Amino acid sequence: MNQVRLHTPSKPLDRDVADRFSRVTVSSISDSLERMAGAVGVNVVGNSLSALNGRAMVGSAMTVRTRPGDNLVVHKALDLADPGDVLVIDARGELVNAILGELMAEYAATRGIAGLVVDGAVRDRESISSGQLPVFSKGFSHLGPYKSGPGEIHGTVTIGGVTVQDGDIIVGDADGVVVVPRARALEALNAAERVVESEAHQQQAIRSGSWDRSWIDAVAQVVYIGEET
């Protein structure tokens, strides 16, 4: 029952690519990926992003699949992770028992891990919120985890309804988590940077009162309802 299955790990994420991703928003990346790559319902824990000074959490996915309510394999993954990895933990979305808490988050930070994403519950919300490591979760529970296994590392997982392969790029900010397939990294990054630039121009137009709204009438068919005269 306590078996931990290890697949072949992926290659590290290029630091320049990671730096560029940290400067764009999750929503802009989501837009560049047909708005289909977001993990729904997996949200940041309190202010745990504050240590990044306004940047997004970025890292290469180290995928972890565990039995709901059990974290034996998560402990093993913490010891195997490389600096810059984001642990993506598929706990089937169950919220009865927390998968990790303050101590594991603090240990992850000392290992240079870039963040923790849990499709399940965590605990110690207040201490994680004020910590030095971004943590995302589906919810919270004060009930602690079991440590019986089984589990799997570097395999295919699902978080918030989106499939994640080991080595995919994980980006998280206040809006949630987006998953960028490694093969589409530069395509998505370049498109996201264009989205950010376009939205900056639109903000300037809004403030100057010159935002073009003509597209609405070109798209929307307005039907007026009322008494005939």
Mean pLDDT score of the chain, rounded to an integer? 95
Average pLDDT of 53-78?
97
Task: With respect to residue 56, please indicate whether it lies within any of the assigned structural domains.
Answer: yes
Is 19 labelled as part of a ligand binding site?
Answer: no
The model's confidence at residue 2, banded by pLDDT at 50, 70 and 90, is: confident
Give pLDDT tens digits for 142-201.
999 999 999 999 999 999 999 999 999 999 999 999 999 999 999 999 999 999 999 999
Nearest CA to 100 among 79, 128, 126, 81? 128
| 192 falls within a domain | yes
Assigned domain for 215 exists: no
16 is in an annotated binding site: no
Which pLDDT tens digit goes with each residue over 69-114?
Answer: 999 999 999 999 999 999 999 999 999 999 999 999 999 999 999 9
Q: Is 49 annotated as a binding residue?
A: no
The answer on whether 101 is annotated among ligand-binding residues is: yes
Q: Is residue 158 part of a domain?
A: yes
136: left (phi over 0), alpha (psi -120 to 50) or beta: beta
The verdict on whether residue 92 carries a ligand-binding annotation is: no
In a domain, 219, yes or no: no
Is 216 among the domain residues? Answer: no
Into how many domains does the chain fold? 1
The verdict on residue 225 lying in a domain is no
Q: Which domain holds residue 42?
A: 4-196
Contact 170, 88 (CB under 8 A): yes
CATH number of the domain bearing residue 118? 3.50.30.40
- Residue among 138, 2, 167, 159 nearest 65 (CA): 159
Residue 179 lies inside a defined structural domain of this protein: yes
Whether the model clears a pTM of 0.75, i.e. scores above it, the answer is yes
Q: Does 123 count as an annotated binding residue?
A: yes
Structure confidence at residue 132 as a pLDDT band (50, 70, 90): confident
Distance CA 181, CA 159 (A): 14
